[in-house]
Structure 1
Amino acid sequence: MNPSSAKPGDKVTVRAPDADCNPRYGQNASIQVTVTDATSVAVINTTAPMNDAGGFIYSFEVPAQMAAGEAAVTAIPFNIDWCDDTGKNTRADGAAATLQRASCVTPMKPLSITR
C-alpha cells in the first residue's frame, strides 16, 4: 500500500503481485477491498478486478468524512474458498466451491489518516 499515511482527498494505492503458487482464481476474479477508519466505520467496501494469479491494483481517494487516526485496509479474494486446508484447489477442476472461510487471518495494512 502506498502511501502509508494520507489525508482526505489523497490517493492511496493497494496492490499485490501475482502469487507463485498458481491459485487459478479465474478470469472473472475479484478482490474485496475494505477500508475501516479509526472509529471502526467501513468507509470503503468494494470489489475490484483481480487476475487469475491473484495480482491486483486498486486506488482510492481518502474520503472527506474519514476519521483521523489509524485506519485498517484489507484486501481478500472475493467469494472464493481461499482457505482450503486440504491442499486441493477446488476451483481448478471447475467444481462448485462448497467450503467456507473458517479460521484464516485476514491480511491488514495500517493507514494513518491525518488532517
Structure 2
Amino acid sequence: MRPSEASPGERVTVAAKDADCDPRYGANARIQISVTDSSGAKVVNTTSAMNDGGGFSYTFVVPTGTVAGGAAVTALPYNVDWCDDTGRNNRVAGAPVVQLQRASCVLPVKPLTIRR
C-alpha cells in the first residue's frame, strides 16, 4: 500500500502480486477493499477487479470527513471461501491433484495514518 500516510482528498493505492499457490480465482474474480478510520467508521467499502492469480491494484481517494489517526485497510477475495480448513481446494472442482500450502486465516490488515 502506498503511501502509508494520507490526508482526505489524497490518493492511496492498495495492490498485491499474484499468489504463489495458483488459487484459480477465475476470470471474474473480485477483491473487497475496506478502510476503517480511527473512529471505527468504514469510510471505504468496495470491490474491484482481481486476476485469476489473486493480483490486483486499486486506488481510492481518502474521503472527506475521514477521522485523523490510525486507519485499517483490508483486502480479501470477494465472495469466495478464502480460508478453507478442509485441506482441499473447493474452487477447483474436477482438477487434478492440487498441492495445497497451509495458510493463515487471519484477516490481513495494513495500517494507514490519516493526517489533517
Q: Scaled by the length of structure 2, what TM-score is found?
A: 0.89
Show structure 1 runs of 5+ residues with no match: 95-102
Of all paired residues, the percent bearing the same amino acid is: 63
| Residue 48 (structure 2) aligns with | 48
Please give the per-residue CA displacement for 1:4-53, whole angstroms capped at 9, x wherever unaligned: 00001110000000001000001111000000000000001000000000
Alignment pair present for 1:111 and 2:109: no
The 5 A counterparts of 1:1-115 are 1-93=1-93, 104-115=105-116
Give the deviation of 1:2 after TM superposition: 0.2
CA RMSD of aligned residues (A): 1.3
Which whole-Å CA distance do the structure 2 matches of 1:26 and 1:44 have between them? 25
Range with greater deviation from structure 2 (33-42 or 77-86): 77-86
Which whole-Å CA distance do the structure 2 matches of 1:63 and 1:82 have between them? 28
Please give the per-residue CA displacement for 1:48-89, whole angstroms capped at 9, x wherever unaligned: 000000000000001011000000000010010111122311
Q: After TM superposition, which residue ranges in structure 1, 4 or more long, deviate above 3 angstroms?
A: none
Show structure 2 runs of 5+ residues with no match: 95-103
| Residue 97 (structure 1) aligns with | none
Which whole-Å CA distance do the structure 2 matches of 1:82 and 1:20 have between them? 15
Q: Scaled by the length of structure 1, what TM-score is found?
A: 0.89
